[in-house]
Structure 1
Amino acid sequence: MLPETSPTIEDELNVPEQPELSQEKRQTIAPALAGVALLGASSLSAAYSAETKTITLENTVSGLLSLNLTSGYIIFQLPKEVMQSIDSGSVLLQYRYSGVLGSQTRNVTATIDPINNQIYADVSALLKVSLLSSDRFTLSFDVGKLPVGVDRTYTFRSVLADGLIDLNLLSTGMATATLGIGPTFGLLVPATLDFGSHELTGHDTLIPRLSPMIIEISHENAAGYNWQLQASLSRPLTSTDNDVLSDVLYFKTASKTQLLQATAIEIATGTMSASSNQTPLIYAENEGIILDLTGKYPKPSSYSADIQWSLVNAP
């Protein structure tokens, strides 16, 4: 009898709760294009400081359409996951121009719009004194723990317009920039767990594997994140002749033994270390996934099962 397993890996995401924002900042941008014009060509750059967990977005605007503007708004749109992780008290928006009168940097009062995932400001008064200068808007803010995901690249957008607008409605004319900063989890499990061949005596009980089982957990940009390893049985132990042995596969540790079922069970928990690779989880032959044939009567055949593994961001 040769039981085999073909484990697969599945990452699950937990999205942090959205931080509470002050009531005066709960404004909504009007989702209408009528009467809104772009005021210049934007070029957006994005940077991230891992030490301070600060994201900096810089929109450089050229070719302003008019120096007699009655209104002007700088708008930054953030990915939802980033917006939900912002420390609202750290938001800083600055305007810098370099022209015939020299260079100057001014702080600008920013408004946070969590509904449209945007941060914007009325800058019409500043644009009137720009004098065909090089106009630069710099937005910086700190982020907490971003949600764990397979794709850790986030896209930011920005535009200078003469009115407020939901940037989701614009197909052209806005500047974009990307950052690869999101955390990811990595999981490596054995492709096959071999229990060998055994003579059926009718008195078989616990059957260990032929070798230790090693599970490797890793991460990128996720130091300090909690993790939980789960396992479930996606296909029961089945022979080549379709004979099914139910309730025979268990996960065993020094403290407890759990039956593997279709519903996932918790295998291990921990916190991601500063190193990208955690200490491997090593289970001796008589621990980890084990086979218990007590009270079972398998037919002479080759048996195999499928195990689903999940590494999730959870306490």
Structure 2
Amino acid sequence: MAGVTSTKQSEAAEKVDYRNLPCPIPYEEIHREAMMSLKPDLFEGMRFDFTKGLNHKFFLSHSVFMGPTTIPSQTPETIKIPTANYEFGANFIDHPKCLLSGRVMTDGRLSARVKYDLSDNFTLKANAQLTNEPHMSHGIVNVDYKGSDHRAQVQMGNGTLIGANYVQSVTPHFSLGGELFWAGQHRKSGISYGARFNTDKMVATGQVASTGMVALNYVQRVSEKVSLASDFMYNYMSSDVTASFGYDYIFRQSRIRGKIDTNGCTAAFLEERLTMGLNFILSAEIDHMKKDYKFGFGMTVGE
């Protein structure tokens, strides 16, 4: 009798309450955990970032970058030119309701970002970038809706860009979603479908798009400080296939992330906290097939 009672209690605990499902993460972020390990902010050359808070809501930032920039080439040989840029930024954060951010660079590029919570369910987001190059400036506005067990987003941008996506929790650990867009200026349209399954120890995602791309990701949390990630990218129109394996290890004073893929590219990214508000950064990427080697180091000052 005790065994039967225990079985009934277990079945009752596993029964899913479909009227009280969790809210999923946004559709555009379904690969978030895998990207943290497999897509670190790699760079080549020297970088210095300084952030100064004027008060608890307003911050200024200064960034200096010196290093080569890769330019497109019709040959397999990698062509790089030396560059140097300075970026000034201003940020206003009224957490969690409002975020205003602006950046201006010495090469003439100006970018701005706005995030504002209209209510508990609706959020307005806007991004814009202005450049001196013709037809390269762009802007996009998003309106996000957050429900109890679903999310939806509508996008509008220049070039007659219109898009929408929706994601729905099906079970406490599984969600499904889709996205469609229309770019009137280029006469292109597309649709994609995505799925995500997550627990406390793992995250598995899949996405297929009408553009030909199929993306599969898997992240295993080995412990609170160690995560392993892998992905598989396949384009059924061009028959290109790439698979990669990455790791994310958090030490007491540092964090290291890296990956290796089937194209022979190996990368690593190290963040070392020297003291409060002072971090040292190392970046390395080696592409054996293209014989392209990138190494960078930097410092970040401020929280």
Same fold, judged at TM 0.5 (above)? no
Q: Which has the higher strand share?
A: 2
- Which TM class, normalised by the smaller chain length? under 0.3
TM-score (norm 2): 0.22
Larger relative contact order (CA 8 Å, sep ≥ 6): 1
